Amino acid sequence: MRPPVSDLPLVFDGVSALARDVTLVRGVSLQVDAGAPTVLVGPNGAGKSTLIRLAMGLVAPTSGRITWGGRAETDGQRRAMVFQRPVMLRRSVAGNIGYALHAGGIARAARRERVADLLAQAGLAHLAGRPARRLSGGEQQRLALARALARDPEVLFLDEPTASLDPAATKAVEDILRAIAQSGVKLVMATHDLGQARRLAGEIVFMLRGSVREQSGAERFFTAPATPEGAAFIRGDLVI
């Protein structure tokens, strides 16, 4: 049952975040609307991860405001996140999903069916009883996705989800992401993999050294980037 309130648009208003005298993001003003996946790209240290963590409420801004659907609700329940290195709970694959469902308030009776659904979506049905910590990297990331979906999110944040995976596992994860996006979930993903950005993005946000330099439709960005840094990044000339 989707409640009437929405977490979108997600609006950053002059947001800065500092950690131990290091500026992670500086004066970011950005709006993320519902629709196709928004992919954050940029070199290392650009602030992509920090922006995602701010949006998820894991980090508080040092200045500026963030609103979700017009509300300042930092710990919204309709948001979920997948990290670059997922942490598996010390229980079975099905147990991990069950845990996420329980955290989302799903009653025990309804859980079993949902677990089966999510396992199927992630392609993990044959591993339901396996201890989650004994899965391969790719399988663990798919489990992390299933866990995130268990919360029936409106927005799914992902922080470099395939950076630690091999190409085959990466493809498997991307296929699932495509399916999720098509089912109506808004994806906001940070990646340093340009190819991945090309494959998945509907909209690109290009960041450099803590600030947002460009925000435009994916095709527009890749064919005619608005800034010289953007162009350099696409060429592969911009690493820092």
CB closer to another protein out of 75 and 113: 75
Closest distance of CB 73 from another protein, Å: 11
CB-CB contact of 200 with 37 (8 Å) = yes
Closest distance of CB 153 from another protein, Å: 10
Closest distance of CB 50 from another protein, Å: 13
Token reading at 50? 């920090």
CB closer to another protein out of 99 and 222: 99
Token reading at 51? 């922006």
Q: Which residues, including other chains, have CB under 8 Å from residue 100's CB and lie 6 or more apart? A: 146, 147, 148, 150, 151
CB closer to another protein out of 87 and 179: 87
CB closer to another protein out of 47 and 225: 47
Sign of CA dihedral 206, 201, 24, 166: negative
Site residues for another protein per CB under 8 A: 56-58, 75, 77, 80-81, 83, 86-92, 95, 99-100, 103, 130-134, 147, 151
Cα 129 from Cα 222, distance rounded (Å):
44
Token reading at 144? 């992390």
DSSP letter for 71, please: B
| 166 alpha-carbon distance from chain centroid | 19
Closest distance of CB 51 from another protein, Å: 15
CB closer to another protein out of 96 and 196: 96
Closest distance of CB 114 from another protein, Å: 15
